[in-house]
Structure 1
Amino acid sequence: MRRALIAAGVIALGLIAAPAALAKTETAHAGNVTATFSFQGQLPNFHGLRLTITRGGAVAYDQPVVAKLCETLCWPGALTGGQPAVQVVDLEHTGDPDVVLELFSGGAHCCTVVQVFSFDPGTMTYVKTERNFGDPGTRVVDLQHNGHFEFLTADDSFAYRFTDYAASGLPIEILTFASGHFTDVTRSYPRLVAQDAAVWLKAFEGMAEGHYADSVGVIAAWAADEDLLGHVKLVNRYLSAQAKAGHLNAPFGAGGTKFVAALQKFLRRRGYLR
């Protein structure tokens, strides 16, 4: 089953081949900003993670890497399809690039942590903003090819919500970053949302062969996408028909009309329904 942006593995960038005693360094730059991410070790034991940022050759930030979720025990990131662990990108479209560092907490279904470092001219150093993207991970992309960058991910709050992880559908989520905050802008990309909805609907319809066993996870993701598009009546009609037909099933928790009620409550709380 297709799950949005799920990390394929944790051995990207050849980390597993690095001798434990040797340091590995990744460098990225844009404009006058250069970021150097260094660490030692190999899977599953990394240590000595450090980030150094220079501006015009002068050091503006040089600190050990510490995250709330995994503290000093994080793994280098780059788990979402070959994206480097450190990037220098003008996220805020100000002409002054930010540094994006991706980390991984370890574990089968968790978690990608992203740290964004933004320059503060008042203190002449970098301020860190951290976000846990959970299991889906994220990619920094320029979706409109206009020099503005977004974080393309999926809504991890759907994982385990209505069924087990393997059968959960995670709807598309798109975020921007500015002034120390991530903002959900998924509604601004209706074409991508519609494409995602089509994927989940196809997955649901494909469950007919198995008599729609454990079907609530994928239809929940479809409903979320369609509600974002403003197709609330369509969603209500379709869910009602599928419940009546006995197609909304879960190995545990609510199915049928009880699932529909729980889903609508959840979608309203998460901002999909307005």
Structure 2
Amino acid sequence: MRRLLPTIAVAAVCLFGAPTALATTQTAHGGTVTATFTFEGKVPNFRGLHLTISRAGAVVYNQPVVAKFCGKLCWPGPLVGRRSAVQVVDLEHTGDPDIVLNLYSGGAHCCTLVQIFSFDAAANTYVKTERVFGDPDARIVNLRHDGRFEFLTADDAFAYRFTDYAASGLPIEILTYANGRFTDVTRSYPRLVAKDAAVWLKAFNGMARAGYPDSVGVIAAWAADEDLLGHSKLVTRYLAHQARAGHLNAPVGAGGAKFVAQLQKFLRRRGYLR
């Protein structure tokens, strides 16, 4: 499902004059564009995050990394998978690649941030767009193997919405980026949505032996996926049946028919249910 992205070189070197500090340099290339991301420290004490972008060897962007969500206190991301935090990718399919910088706000599991830098020829510099994805990771993928890239993530609006985070289900979300905006294209990938729905339904059914003690989070994600697929009547029937059977439970918050009513209202507001 992934397409190989431009080669990313990651190197760590000791910072001269400060033997206890570790400076890390991550560099990504795409065509004549080079992005260099540097920072010092390690979890949980990162500092000095900085991004430099050059075109054909000439530096056109050279700034400290600052985010609206975490200011200058962001961490380089992602924290797992040994992926570089910086990528050079033609997200907009224009032939002029964008720079993608992955950041993390710190904390147990939140939040993932992505900054995208697009070239402004008139100003001869890069313009930043920022999005907070929340709890889930956001991976750049090429789902149709056509050179057009998507962000594969999950809908963070479901985190904590009906139960605690650990028991929440976050349905699949697929976004594209162009002209400074993200567009939700999840409905264009029904096979992936159906696969995700099957995962949540399996998780729900797996709670049967324990008596469905905290089941509303995962069934909410299943309902969202099925509504995206146009199966709203199926969702309504199934939820009503499970409510009557006493299978829709939450340790805190609504369960049963009251949960179903809240869920349907939420899904309509979020655009899943039409």
Structure 2: how far apart are the matches of 1:123 and 1:250?
54
Deviations 1:222-244 (A, max 9, x none): 00000000000000010010001
The answer on 1:206 being equivalent to 2:211 is no
SS at structure 1 position matched to 2:253: coil
Shift of 1:168: 0.2
Shift of 1:192: 0.3
CA distance in 1, matches of 2:170, 2:209: 22
Alignment-mate amino acid for residue 39 of structure 1 = F
Q: 1:81 to 1:58 in 2, by over 3 A?
A: same
Aligned length: 261
Aligned to 2:269: 269
Aligned partner of 1:24 in structure 2 is 24
**Which residue number corresponds to residue 66 of structure 2?**
66
Note closer, same or farther for the CA distance 1:14–1:77 as it changes in structure 2 (3 Å cut). farther
Residue 82 (structure 2) aligns with: 82
| Distance (Å, rounded) in 2 between the aligned partners of 1:238 and 1:154 | 23
SS at match of 1:34: strand
In structure 1, C-alpha distance between the alignment counterparts of 2:177 and 2:256, rounded to whole Å: 39
Cross-structure match for 1:97: 97
**Partner residue of 2:35?**
35
Q: Which residue of 1 aligns with 2:191?
A: 191
- Matched to 1:119, the amino acid is F
Q: Which amino acid aligns with 2:45?
A: N
Name the CA distance, whole Å, in 2 between partners of 1:20 and 1:104: 23
Q: Which amino acid aligns with 1:104?
A: Y
Deviations 1:157-209 (A, max 9, x none): 10000000100000000000000001110000000000000000000000001
2: CA distance, partners of 1:209 / 1:65: 49
1:241 — aligned with what?
A: 241
Matched position secondary structure for 1:23: strand
Whole-Å separation in 2 of the counterparts to 1:60 and 1:93: 21
List gaps (5 residues or longer) in structure 2: 1-9
Q: Distance in 2 between matches of 1:111 and 1:236?
A: 33
The change in CA–CA distance for 1:109 and 1:92 in structure 2 (over 3 A counts) is same
User: Distance between the aligned counterparts of 2:69 and 2:94, measured in 1?
Assistant: 30
1:57 aligns with 2:57: yes
CA distance in 1, matches of 2:181, 2:116: 10
Task: Please give the TM-score of this superposition, normalised by the length of structure 2.
Answer: 0.92
How far off is 1:14 after superposition? 9.9
Q: Cα distance 1:240–1:96, how it changes in 2: closer, same or farther (>3 A)?
A: same
The answer for the alignment partner of 2:178 in structure 1 is: 178
The answer to whether 1:125 aligns with 2:125 is yes
Q: Which residue of 2 aligns with 1:137?
A: 137
Shift of 1:79: 3.0
Larger RCO (CA under 8 A, 6+ residues apart): 1
- Residue 107 of structure 1 aligns to a residue in which SS? coil
- Residues 169 and 20 of structure 1, relative CA distance in 2, 3 Å threshold: farther
Q: Percent identity?
A: 76
**In 2, distance between residues paired with 1:107 and 1:216?**
25
User: Aligned AA for 2:34?
Assistant: T
Partner Cα distance (2:91, 2:20) in 1: 34
- What SS class does the counterpart of residue 247 from structure 1 fall into? coil
Q: Are positions 1:165 and 2:188 aligned together?
A: no
Whole-angstrom distance in 2 between the partners of 1:134 and 1:40: 24
TM-score by length of 1: 0.92
Matched residues in 2 for 1:262 and 1:130: separation?
Answer: 31
Kept in 1, the 8 Å contact 2:35–2:54? The answer is: yes
In structure 1, the gaps of 5 or more residues are 1-12
Which digits, 9 at most, give the CA deviation of each residue in 1:10-38, with x for residues without a partner?
xxx899x9975232100001111100000
The 5 A counterparts of 1:139-158 are 139-158=139-158
Q: SS in structure 2 opposite 1:237? A: helix
The Cα shift of 1:109 comes to: 2.5
Structure 1 CA distance for aligned equivalents of residues 27 and 178 of structure 2: 23
Contact 1:20 1:40 in 2 (8 A): no
Give the 3-state SS of the residue equivalent to 2:268 in structure 1: helix
2: CA distance, partners of 1:192 / 1:110: 25
1:44 maps to a residue whose letter is P
